[in-house]
Homo-oligomer: A and B are copies of this chain.
Amino acid sequence: MLSVYLSGEIHTDWREQIIEGAKGLDVEFSAPVTDHGASDDCGVEILGAEENKYWHDHKGAMVNGIRTRKGIEEADVVVVRFGDKYKQWNAAFDAGYASAMGKSLIILQPPEHDHALKEVDAAALAVTREPGQVVDILRYVLEGTLPK
């Protein structure tokens, strides 16, 4: 059984595509909370409001960190997705964290970011362009078969 953590942007359905494509494979997926509102507000909703936006964000990031840390530490493979929008520094942070822990890293990104991601890609075992390629790798790693 392969444990896979899906890190990165939460605005498109790339996780669903991978999970759907990997049906039938012996894979267990984990991911951050992808409900954007809940993810942003979990800290203050549970632990109490903050006037200062910085501490509002801080409390949420800490609570989300419990899930992220467990997800990455238990993963065999960490897939990190970079999309077209936003800074996505948390995705790059996860990639660095996973890399230092010796996890196998797969990057999913459009070619126009190749230069900006060259240090991240250099730490990865595969750089993919489409969710289907991630599925192909998981199938090959688990079953030794290539796409037809």
Least distance between A105 CB and chain B CB atoms (Å):
9
CB within 8 A of A119: which of B54, B89, B113?
B89
CB within 8 A of A65: which of B43, B52, B68, B119?
B119
Q: How many copies does the complex hold?
A: 8
**How far, in angstroms, from A91 to B91 measured CA to CA in the complex?**
12
CB within 8 A of A69: which of B104, B118, B136?
B104
Least distance between A12 CB and chain B CB atoms (Å):
18
For A136, list chain B residues within 8 Å (CB): 46
In the complex, besides A42-B140, A82-B89, 6 extra interface pairs with C-beta distance below 8 angstroms are A47-B127, A52-B55, A65-B104, A70-B76, A89-B89, A90-B92
